[in-house]
Amino acid sequence: MLRFALFSLLSLPLLAQDRIGTIQLRVSTDRADWRYTPGQPVRFRILAIQDGHLVSGLKVTYKIGPEMMPPKIEQSATLPAEGLIVDGGTLTEPGFLRCIATVEKNGKTYRALATAAFQPEALKPTQSDPADFDQFWAAGKAALAKIPIDAKRTLLPDYGNAAANCYHLNLQNVGAGTGTSRFYGILCEPKAPGKYPALLSVPGAGVRPYRGLAEMAARGVITLQVGIHGIPVTMDQSVYDSLGTGALAGYNTFGLDNRDRYYYRRVYLGCVRANDYLTTHPNWDGLTLAVTGGSQGGALSIITAALDPRVKGLAAYYPALADVTGYLQNRAGGWPHMFRATEGAQAHRSQDKIAASSYYDVVNFARRVKVPGLYSWGFNDETCPPTSMYSAYNVIPGQKRLLLALETGHNNIPEQVAEVQSWLYSFLKVAPDQNGAR
C-alpha cells in the first residue's frame, strides 16, 4: 500500500511554481570610455537581466537628450533578449548626451541611464566672475577676524576610541545679518602627545547629526567634521528631521536675492572659522591642513581651499553649487538647480538672484584654487550634473587630478572611496596601516 502511494505521488505532474525577481535594467554606450568627439554619433544599448539571464518581451521607454534638458528622442519598443540598440544622435559642441530607460513589471518601474561625454575638458562656465569678487570675500573674512573664536568643547566619551578623543565643538561665527552665530562640529584628536596634520570634513546637503572621524584621528590626524546650520550636531535624529522638513526646508536659496544675506555667506565663512580653530590647535603640526567632502561638501572643499591660504590640499567628490547659471544658457546647471525652469515656472530667475549667485558659485572659487586637489565623480550624476562639475574643474589653475567612476550617479563606490582615502592619507603623510592600506 505504501509503495503504491509513493508511486502515485511520483507520477503526478509537478505543481506550478510562482516566480519573482528583481529586474536589472542596464544602459550602456557603444564606446567603452563613454567618450565621443562632437558630431560623432552615439548608440545606446538597453538590456534587462533577471536571475542572471537576459529578459525579452518587456516594453521599454527611452528618452535621449542633453543631460537635464527636455529629451530630443522619446520612444517605446519591445525589448529583445539580446538587448535593444538605439541611435542616440550626437552633440555638436562639448557636453553630455544622456539616455534614460524605464520598464515596468509586476507593478514596479525599473530605471537606468547612461551618459555619453563629448569633449568635456573643453566645457567653459556660464557663470560670470564679479569684478569685486575678491574684495567681497576679503571684507567677509575681515569681519570674521574681528570676532573671537570663543571655542567651547564638550568631551563625548562614546564617540572616541582607544587612540582618539572626540568633542562636541562650537565656535563663534558671523551671523546671518548683524551679530554673531555659532558653528558646530565634532572634533577628534589623537590621544598620544605629538604634532599632527589636520583635516576639515565638510558636509553634504541636508540637516543631520554627525559622529566625527575618530578612526582617522586614531591614525594620527586632528579632524573636525562640521555641520553648517548653526545648531548642535549631537541631538536626536528626530530634531533634524523636523528642521529639514520645516524651518530649514529649502535653506539653499534663503536670502538669495541679496549677496550679503544669502544663507551660504555664514556657511563659507564658518569653514574659515573652523580652520582658525584647527590652525591654533596646540597639537597641529603647523603646516598640513586639508579639506574634504562630497556634493555640498565637495563645493565647500573647493570654496574653503580658495578662501583660505592655510589649506594645502583638498579631495572633493561630485561638487555641488557649480555653474548654477547653466540653465540660463539652455544646458545643465549645478545643484540646487535654482535657475532650472520647471513646469513653465521660472523658479528663481530674477536678476538680483542671478547676480548674487555669482559670489557663491563654485566656478568662481575654482578659478582661485592653487593647491593640489583630487576630484572624483561619475557621468550619470543627476544631482550634480557632470557639465556643471567640469565647468568648475576646467578652470582650476592648481595641480589637479580627476578620478572618474563613470557609471556612478550621485554616489560613490568602495574602490573610489579607497583611492580618495589613500590620496588623503598620503597627502597628510599618515603611514599605511598594518595591512598596507592608507
Task: Count CB neighbours of 406 within 10 A.
Answer: 17
Q: What is the DSSP letter of 326?
A: G
Measured between alpha carbons, how far is 382 from 236 in angstroms, rounded to an integer? 30
238's CB contacts (< 8 A; 6+ apart) are none
Q: Is 381 a catalytic residue?
A: yes
Find the angle CA(144)-CA(305)-CA(265) to the nearest 5 degrees.
40
What's the distance, CA 238 to chain centroid? 24
User: Which of 424, 153, 143, 137 lies closest to 277 in space, CA to CA?
Assistant: 153
Length of the chain: 438
Structural domain 133-427, CATH architecture: 3-Layer(aba) Sandwich (3.40)
Measured between alpha carbons, how far is 416 from 419 in angstroms, rounded to an integer? 5
Q: Tens-of-pLDDT digits for all 438 residues of the chain?
A: 545 444 454 555 555 676 677 899 999 999 999 999 999 999 999 999 999 999 999 999 999 999 999 999 999 999 998 999 999 999 999 999 999 999 999 889 999 999 999 999 999 999 999 999 999 999 999 999 999 999 999 999 999 999 999 999 999 999 987 789 999 999 999 999 999 999 999 999 999 999 999 999 999 999 999 999 999 999 999 999 999 999 999 999 999 999 999 999 999 999 999 999 999 999 999 999 999 999 999 999 999 999 999 999 999 999 999 999 999 999 999 999 999 987 455 668 999 999 999 999 999 999 999 999 999 999 999 999 999 999 999 999 999 999 999 999 999 999 999 999 999 999 999 976 644 444
Question: What is the identity of the amino acid at 251?
Answer: Y
Q: Are 414 and 408 in contact (CB under 8 A)?
A: no
Question: What is the identity of the amino acid at 292?
Answer: T
Q: For 251, left (φ over 0), alpha (ψ -120 to 50), or beta?
A: alpha
CATH 2.60.40.1930 domain residues, the chain = 24-122
CA–CA distances in Å: residue 344 to residues 250, 252, 339: 20, 22, 12
Q: What is the DSSP letter of 123?
A: -
Q: Is 391 a catalytic residue?
A: no
Compute the 3-state secondary structure of the chain and give helix, strand, coil in percent, each to the nearest 5: 25, 30, 45
Evaluate the omega torsion of the peptide bond into residue 336 and state whether it is cis, within 30 degrees of 0.
Answer: yes
First to last CA, the chain: 71
Measured between alpha carbons, how far is 261 from 36 in angstroms, rounded to an integer? 43
CATH 3.40.50.1820 domain residues, the chain = 133-427
Measured between alpha carbons, how far is 396 from 164 in angstroms, rounded to an integer? 35
Q: Are 290 and 275 in contact (CB under 8 A)?
A: no
In Å, the largest CA–CA distance within the chain is 100
Q: Is 281 a catalytic residue?
A: no
Cell numbers found for residue 64: 535621449
Handedness of CA 121, 126, 128, 133 (dihedral sign): negative
Measured between alpha carbons, how far is 200 from 312 in angstroms, rounded to an integer? 11
168, 201, 381, 388: which one is catalytic? 381
Measured between alpha carbons, how far is 239 from 235 in angstroms, rounded to an integer? 7
pLDDT of 434 reads 46
pLDDT of 363 reads 98
CA–CA distances in Å: residue 245 to residues 88, 242, 248, 320, 346: 39, 5, 7, 21, 23
Write down the pTM of the prediction. 0.94
Measured between alpha carbons, how far is 336 from 254 in angstroms, rounded to an integer? 12
Cell numbers found for residue 209: 547629526
pLDDT of 435 reads 44
201, 295, 301, 358: which one is catalytic? 295
Protein fold of 24-122: Immunoglobulin-like (2.60.40)
**For residue range 279-321, what is the model confidence (pLDDT) as tens digits?**
999 999 999 999 999 999 999 999 999 999 999 999 999 999 9
